[in-house]
Structures are given as structure tokens and as C-alpha cells.
Amino acid sequence: MRDRNSNSNNSGRREFMRTGLAVAGGLALPAGFASRVLAADQPPIGTWPAGSQGDSVFIGIAVPRTGTYAVQGEDELKGYELAVEHINEGHPLIKAISPKTKKGVLGKTVKYGVADSAAKPNDAVQAQQRFITENKAILLTGSTSSAVAVALNKLAQREKVLYVAGISGSNDTTGKDCVRYGFRQNFYGETAANALGPVLLKAFGKNKKAAFMTPDYTYGHTVTKSMNDFLTKNGGWTMVTNQVSPLGAPDYSSYLTNIANSGAEFLINVNWGHDAVLSTQQAKQFGILPKMKLVIPYQIPFLAPEVGPDVTEGVYAATDFWWTLEDKYPLAKMFVEAFQKKYNYRPEWGAENAYMEFALWAEAVEHAGTFYPPDVIKSYESPRKLNSMVGEVEWRAADHQLIRPVIIVRGKKPGDMKNKEDFWEVTEIVPGAGVMQKPDAFGCNLGAYT
């Protein structure tokens, strides 16, 4: 009895000490170590652990390099490439965003493959499926079309591989089509409308008539709706016509003829990529511009150099980033300088978005201390302030949308341009939290971790 008691006491004490040590050790160890231990006990999921067992990890990038969005896709790709380079060498800019980064991600070199999506969902999904199967990709990215972003969201959730959106302006990407495995850094229809709307009302007043040009897919429809809702409810504006056209329409004359006959005072052009360039140029040919005032709710990289600053002069646009923000934000300055040095031009917002997506992913993984996807997702979701090129930002756990400012720009007069890329002046930096809808307002249901 006694022995047994004493044994029991001994074992109880040993148990106590073991537990105590474990707790103390756990507290002393970096958080990452603990979750790595936990993750190691998990069954394989997606490309984990196969994709991160070697000394490198692979990212699948699908951007449009042909078609209507090719120009923007190339710019986006450069942002990704620069980010990978910076991550692998432990560049100060990456370290400013992801303080735990040394070289690579969790010490592993980042490699990537690039596929041309032509902004077509099927092409993008096929390419990414190949990256998952053949390269064990642990991260997918790229879009420049919300139709692609939504398709890749679904692929990511099905395959349990993380996806960070490239350019995607639809409310649906982190709205009704949001997924647990998808994340979006950039601004979108609703935030654009709520940031740009007040600026338009202040500049032009109430009760105006507007003609919309809308590309016929999720991006176009949601951006037009958000913009029109804001202007109608808050300013009494009227949508006198909404010209919906297919992606990559070869000619806009029919739509523009309707607009010319609509009595509108404003042309709100939601078209994007070359569609925006062509429709804007043709609007000028038809005399619609400058008779009507042009508004760009969702900025198009390279629009100004392509249509000319005489067309964009005085035009208001909402955007994610413009290079003159370097005067205000030190990280923006570092980015613009590094980008310009490598590519000989100043980055557009597609490149900034691409860079930030990778930098924020590196931060989330380093913070999690593991590549185990559910832990990385939880790392994204755990509340904390992050550094970015536009000041402090943070992820919204409920819909995986980054809370970040929307930048309002106005086209400069050709005579006021200080250099050949000085097309826009930043007129306002609108904080993100106030312009976002409630996380469930667009029907977001993130789904399962595993």
C-alpha cells in the first residue's frame, strides 16, 4: 500500500514536472516550433508535406500574357518576380513587411513557374492543376480577371492549396465566392465605390446623369453595381444607360452610339485592360470625350500612357497604388526604386499588388512557422497589424480580405507632368475599414480548413 502510494506520489510528481517543463519549454520556444510539432502530426493535405520537404518550395503563377489583359499581366508578373527575388535574398523591403524572414521562406528557397492564363478561367485552372500535380505547388497566384480569381479560389479550396489573388476587382472574390484557402490584398468594387463616390459628389455635385460601360462578367457587374448604388443613394445620380460588352470586344461603336444618344453627363468606364483603352479611345473618336466627363472606378494600369494624358486629364480614378506614394510611405519608395532599377519603369498597381501578396504570404508562413496550410490560414486570420507600402494594414479573418486604404488619383494636365510617367496625382488616401461592407454582406462563407 505504502509503496504503491509512494509510487503513485512519485509518478504524480514526475507527471507534474514533465507537464510543467513542457509548458515552460513551450512558452520559451518560438510559437512556430510548437505549431510545427503539431502540424507534423497531421495527415497530408493538399501538397503538404510533399511540397515543402525539399530545400525549396514552388509557387504556381498564372497571369495573362496574351489577350485583352496581357499588358497588365506582364506588369503583375514582374511584381511577383521581384518579390521572389527579394524573399530569397532577404531584402530589407521584405523584412520590413515580414520581420521574421531571413532568406527564403522558413529557410527554403522559393521557386516558381509561370503560365499564360490569357485571362481565361479554364486556362488558368488547367495550368495551376499542372503546377499542383507536377511541381507540388504550395501556393497559387495570378488572375487579372476576377473570373479567373473566382475559378482559382474554387480550385484552391478543392485541392487544399493556398491561393492569393492577383488583380481582382469583383466583390465576389472575397464575397459570395470567398474560400478558406483564398486571400485578396487589393481593393475591389465596393471599396472603390465607397472611396471614389464621395470624391465625385464633392467635385461634381448631386443629381447627375451617368452612362456606364461594363464588361460582361463578375468584375464588371459588381463594380458597376457598387458604383451605381453609391451614386444613386448618396447623390441622386441616375444611370441613363449601361452598355454591357463581352471581354475583348473588337469594337465599341455600337455601345458608344447608344451612349452618345443617352444624354449622359458622365461616362463611367468599368471596362479594363485593352478593352478600357479601346473604348476610351473610341469614345474620344465619337466626340463623347471630352463632352462627357470620364470616370474610372477601377484603375487600369497603363491606361494613361496608352490613351494619352490629354484624355486622362482631370479624370478621377480609384486605385491600389500609384508610384508617387513614395513621397509618403518609405516602403513604397523602396519598392518603386527596386522595381525601377530592375525593369526600367515605375511600377503600376498590378506589380505592387503582386509584390504585396507574396510578401504578406511570406509573413503569414513565417508567423505560422510551418507550411501546413490550415496553420498558415490561421496565421493569416490571427489579428495583427502588418506593414505595407500604403501604411499599416490587417487581414479580415471573416472574409480573407485585406483592410487597406483605397487611393484616389486625378489625371494630371500634360503640362504639369514632371516626368514621362507622372500621369496621376494622389488626391486622397481613404482608410480601408470605413469603405468595406460587413464581411457577410456579400454572402461570404469561407468553408472548411481541412
Partner 1 sequence: MISWSNFVSQLFNGLALGALLALISSGLTIIYGTLGVLNLAHGAMFMLGGYAGYVAYEASGSFIVAVIAGTLFLGIVGVLMERVVIRHFYSRPHEDQLLVTFGLAIVYVEGVRFIFSSLSKTVPPPPLFTGITSLGFMVYPTYRLAVVGIVAVALLALFLVLYRTRLGMIVRAGIEDSVMVDSLGINVDRVFMVVFGIGAMAAGFAGIVNAPVVSLTPDVGEAILVQTFVVVVIGGVGSFTGAVLGGLIAGEIISITSMFNPGYAYVMLFAAMTLVLLVRPQGLLGTRGRE
Among 150, 178, 277, 338, which residue interacts with partner 1 (rule: CB under 8 A)? 277
**Single-letter amino acid, residue 173:** T
User: 145 is written with which cell numbers?
Assistant: 480577371
238 binds partner 1 (CB under 8 A): no
Q: Can you tell me the distance from the alpha carbon of 241 to that of 212, in angstroms, rounded to the nearest whole number?
A: 6
The candidate with the shortest Cα–Cα distance to 125, out of 145, 148, 147, is: 148
The CB-of-202 to partner 1 minimum distance in angstroms stands at: 29
266-269 vs 209-215, strand pairing mode: parallel
CA angle 121/380/383 to nearest 5° reads 140
Which residue's CB is nearer to partner 1, number 68 or number 387?
A: 68
122 binds partner 1 (CB under 8 A): no
Among 129, 204, 229, 248, which residue interacts with partner 1 (rule: CB under 8 A)? 248
> Would you say 152 and 124 are in contact if contact means Cβ atoms under 8 Å apart?
yes
258 binds partner 1 (CB under 8 A): yes
| Cross-strand pairs, 327 | none
Among 31, 34, 45, 249, which residue interacts with partner 1 (rule: CB under 8 A)? 249
Q: Can you tell me the distance from the alpha carbon of 229 to that of 375, in angstroms, rounded to the nearest whole number?
A: 38
Burial track 385-402 (b if 16+ CB lie within 10 A, e otherwise): ebbbbbbebebbeebbbb
Number of residues interacting with partner 1: please give it, by CB under 8 A: 38
Q: Which stretch in 104-112, 225-233, 285-293, 387-395 sits in contact with partner 1 by CB under 8 A?
A: 285-293
Alpha carbons within 13 angstroms on the beta-carbon side of residue 287 total 3
Which residue's CB is nearer to partner 1, number 126 or number 282?
A: 282
> Would you say 241 and 234 are in contact if contact means Cβ atoms under 8 Å apart?
no
Helices (H) and strands (E) in the chain, counts: 16, 14
Binding mask 67-106 for partner 1 (x = CB under 8 A): xx-xx--x--------------------------------
The candidate with the shortest Cα–Cα distance to 241, out of 222, 224, 226, 216, is: 224
281 binds partner 1 (CB under 8 A): yes
Q: Which stretch in 77-85, 275-283, 412-420, 442-450 sits in contact with partner 1 by CB under 8 A?
A: 275-283
354 binds partner 1 (CB under 8 A): no
Q: Can you tell me the distance from the alpha carbon of 432 to that of 385, in angstroms, rounded to the nearest whole number?
A: 13
The CB-of-268 to partner 1 minimum distance in angstroms stands at: 15
216 binds partner 1 (CB under 8 A): yes
The CB-of-245 to partner 1 minimum distance in angstroms stands at: 6
**Single-letter amino acid, residue 411:** G
Q: Can you tell me the distance from the alpha carbon of 162 to that of 160, in angstroms, rounded to the nearest whole number?
A: 7
244 binds partner 1 (CB under 8 A): yes
Among 85, 306, 421, 422, which residue interacts with partner 1 (rule: CB under 8 A)? 306
Q: Can you tell me the distance from the alpha carbon of 253 to that of 259, in angstroms, rounded to the nearest whole number?
A: 10
The CB-of-345 to partner 1 minimum distance in angstroms stands at: 11
Q: Under 8 Å CB-to-CB from 332, ≥6 apart: which residues?
A: 321, 323, 325, 326, 389, 390
Q: Which stretch in 36-44, 129-137, 301-309, 370-378 sits in contact with partner 1 by CB under 8 A?
A: 301-309
The CB-of-289 to partner 1 minimum distance in angstroms stands at: 11
Which residue's CB is nearer to partner 1, number 110 or number 283?
A: 283
Among 245, 319, 370, 401, which residue interacts with partner 1 (rule: CB under 8 A)? 245
310 binds partner 1 (CB under 8 A): no
212 binds partner 1 (CB under 8 A): no
Q: How many CB atoms lie within 10 A of CB 43?
A: 7
Q: Please list every residue from 18 through 47 that binds partner 1, using CB under 8 A.
A: none
Q: Can you tell me the distance from the alpha carbon of 278 to that of 280, in angstroms, rounded to the nearest whole number?
A: 5
The CB-of-116 to partner 1 minimum distance in angstroms stands at: 10
290 binds partner 1 (CB under 8 A): no
Q: Which stretch in 84-92, 156-164, 254-262, 318-326 sits in contact with partner 1 by CB under 8 A?
A: 254-262
24 by Cβ neighbours in 10 Å (0-12 / 13-18 / 19+) ranks as exposed
Q: Interface with partner 1 by CB under 8 A: which residues?
A: 65-68, 70-71, 74, 216, 240-246, 248-251, 253-255, 257-258, 260-262, 274, 277-278, 281-282, 285-287, 302, 305-306
